Amino acid sequence: MSILAWNCRGLANPRTVRLLLDINQQYRPSLIFLSETLIKNNKVATVSKKLGFAGYYAIDAQGHGGGLALMWKNGGAVQILQSCNNFIDFEVSHEQTGKWRYTGYYGIPQRNRRMESWNMLRQLAASSILSWCIIGDFNDIISMEEKRGGQRQPRRLMEGFFDAIMSCGLHDLGFSGDMFMWERSRGAHRWIQERLDKGMATNLWIEMFPLAEVKVIEVTTSDHFPLLLQLHRQVFMKCGSRFKFENMWIGEQECRNIVKDCWEGDGGVLMGKIMKCCLRMEECGGGLVREMKVQLGRYRKEMQHWRSRRDRMGIQKYNTARWHYMKLLEKKEIFWRQRAKQYWLRDGEKNTTFFHKFASTRKEHNKIQKLQNEAGEWQETEADIQEVITAYFRNMFYSIRPNTSLPVQSEFPVISVVQSQA
């Protein structure tokens, strides 16, 4: 299970929606919390359906600011406890550990109202005895190590925020990736970077999920990076690639011609014809999709590489990579729409989720996150998973009491030594 938290700074922006779709496709979070959506409830419903989520809960934007949204995949796993313009607090039912509590949070940005934010945290901490995790844009930093550029943060603000999280019994979950998750005026003289977005939890929650980690997704259309909370570090082994038939190929005349040509071609056995058909189908139908995936990955890495550079060349390289990345996301969306158009005209009105399910054909990764041993205990580390697999097959093929009294001599004729040498 994983949770995405992001100050998206406007969910009405098509580029933001494209990026959210791309992140959802890559990481497949079970829950998504968004702050500063800047839209109304009905718009959130549209985005939630486009992502393929089962349910959503939204707080409308106020004027030209604010707005929160929560989306989830499993309809029965989430129960809203309380909400306001700054947070959505809810209970999560987890299959392994039972119930716990999560808060998607957006701190009040005005400095003269920070005390309200700190008191809000204290009230949230006192409202339930469940194990608790809170993630979002706190609009606060704990020390000057969490800021680069601009003027020094007033000590009273840092100390006030630190006292609030200590009184709530919260501990920083840390992160993997870029430390500065928010920035303003990139490349300008007043370029500021801060770690405003955080994940924190109580001791009880950390004991419940000792392998949890927060990953910084270093790609954004906003001035904030998204955070991905993974409750269990994924342990998996990749298998070699294999041929997969894409549903969209059914409607491609060129792919039909390939099948016909390979089947009616001269010579060759059946398996040879099938292999030839698979190779040509992959080359024809999968080339464009694979190339887009490669390029998207390359520009992600370029943005990560150049983002921390503050010189002119670094800024230019980052902006160029970001521009290409956003163009590729737009191209990818157009590609899927064009591919699904004929089926949408025929079947789209019959099922409102048809376009999403058809056009978002996704590659499922082969992975093993956990296995249950003979004692019924779940094993999650790589070494323990390997031991469970080894023990299973060892028991399967090992004979406990081999039968040594097989009636060989009584069933088969036996020849003497003299007869064998004759």
Q: Supply the angle between the helices 270-285 and 253-264 in degrees, to the nearest 10.
A: 160
Residue 82 lies in a domain: yes
pLDDT band at 236 (very low <50, low <70, confident <90, very high): very low
Q: Inform me whether the pLDDT recorded for 359 exceeds 60.
A: no
Q: Which residue has the higher pLDDT, 165 or 221?
A: 165
CA–CA gap between residue 325 and residue 295 (Å, rounded): 8
329 domain-assigned: no
b/e map 1-12, b = 16+ CB within 10 Å: bbbbbbbbbbbe
Q: What range does the domain containing 395 cover?
A: 371-421
Euclidean distance between CA atoms 300 and 52, whole angstroms: 24
b/e 187-218 (16+ beta carbons within 10 angstroms → b): eeeeebbbbbbbbbbbeebeebbeebbbbbbb
Give the model's pLDDT for residue 252: 59
Distance (Å, whole) CA 264 – CA 337: 33
- CB contact at 8 A, 277 and 258: yes
Residue 130 included in any domain: yes
Domain-terminating residue out of 202, 230, 258: 230
> What does the block give as tokens for 346?
């025929």
Residue 82 scores a pLDDT above 90: yes
Q: Can you give the pLDDT at residue 246?
A: 58
Residue 405 tokens read as 């009294």
Q: How far apart are CA 150 and CA 183, in angstroms?
A: 11
- CA atoms within 13 A of residue 40's CA, in its CB half-sphere: 2
Q: Is residue 336 part of a domain?
A: no
pTM of the model: 0.62
DSSP conformation letters of 350-391: G-TTHHHHHHT--PPP-----EE-TTS-EE-SHHHHHHHHHH
Residue 309: its pLDDT value, please? 80
**Residue 154: predicted pLDDT:** 93
Lowest-pLDDT range of 173-177, 330-334, 361-365: 361-365
pLDDT band at residue 274 under the 50/70/90 scheme: confident
Task: Please report, rounded to a whole number, the percentage of residues in the chain having pLDDT higher than 70.
Answer: 76
For residue 352, how many other CB atoms are within 10 A of its CB? 9
CB atoms within 10 A of CB 312: 9
Ranges 20-29, 252-261, 275-284, 285-294, most confident: 20-29
Of 230, 257, 284, the position where a domain reaches its end is 230
pLDDT score for 104: 96
Task: Please check the confidence at residue 137 and state whether its pLDDT lies above 50.
Answer: yes
Question: Sign of torsion, CA 351 355 356 360?
Answer: positive
| pLDDT score of 286 | 60
Give the residue-averaged pLDDT of 62-91.
89
Q: Summarize the confidence of residues 246-251 as an average pLDDT.
A: 56
**Where do the H-state alpha helices sit in 1-85?**
14-27, 41-51
pLDDT, average across residues 302-330: 82
Higher pLDDT, 284 or 33: 33
362 within a domain of the structure (yes/no) = no
Question: Bridge-partner residues for 5, per DSSP?
Answer: 33, 227
* CATH code at position 109: 3.60.10.10
- Is the pLDDT score of 404 beyond 60? no
Buried b (16+ CB within 10 A) or exposed e, 264-293: eeeeeeeeebeebbbebbbeebeeebeeee
Answer yes or no: is 309 within a domain: no
What is the strand order of the sheet 78-84 is part of? 78-84, 87-94, 98-106, 132-137, 197-201, 171-172
Identify the pLDDT of residue 338: 56
| 363 within a domain of the structure (yes/no) | no
Strand stretches in 24-77, DSSP E: 31-35, 55-59, 68-72
Query: Exposed, middle or buried by CB within 10 Å (0-12, 13-18, 19+), for 166?
Result: exposed
Lowest-confidence segment of 103-117, 160-174, 400-414 by average pLDDT: 400-414
pLDDT band, very low/low/confident/very high, at 386 (cuts 50, 70, 90)? confident
Rounded alpha-carbon distances, angstroms, from residue 189 to 149, 196, 310: 9, 21, 10
Pick the residue with more confidence: 122 or 395? Answer: 122
User: How far is Cα 7 from Cα 55, in angstroms, rounded to an integer?
Assistant: 20
Q: What's the confidence (pLDDT) of residue 385?
A: 85
Q: Is the pLDDT of residue 336 over 70?
A: no
Residue-averaged pLDDT of the chain: 80
127 within a domain of the structure (yes/no): yes
Coil vs helix vs strand at 91? strand
pLDDT > 60? residue 86: yes
- Tell me if 50 sits within 8 A of 22, measured CB to CB: no
Q: What CA–CA distance (Å, rounded) separates 162 from 309?
A: 30
Domain boundary residue, one of 208, 230, 252: 230
How many structural domains comprise the chain? 2
Which range is least confidently modeled, 86-100, 121-135, 236-250, 304-318?
A: 236-250
| Banded pLDDT at 418 (limits 50, 70, 90) | low
In terms of average pLDDT, the best of 66-80, 105-119, 206-220, 270-284 is: 105-119
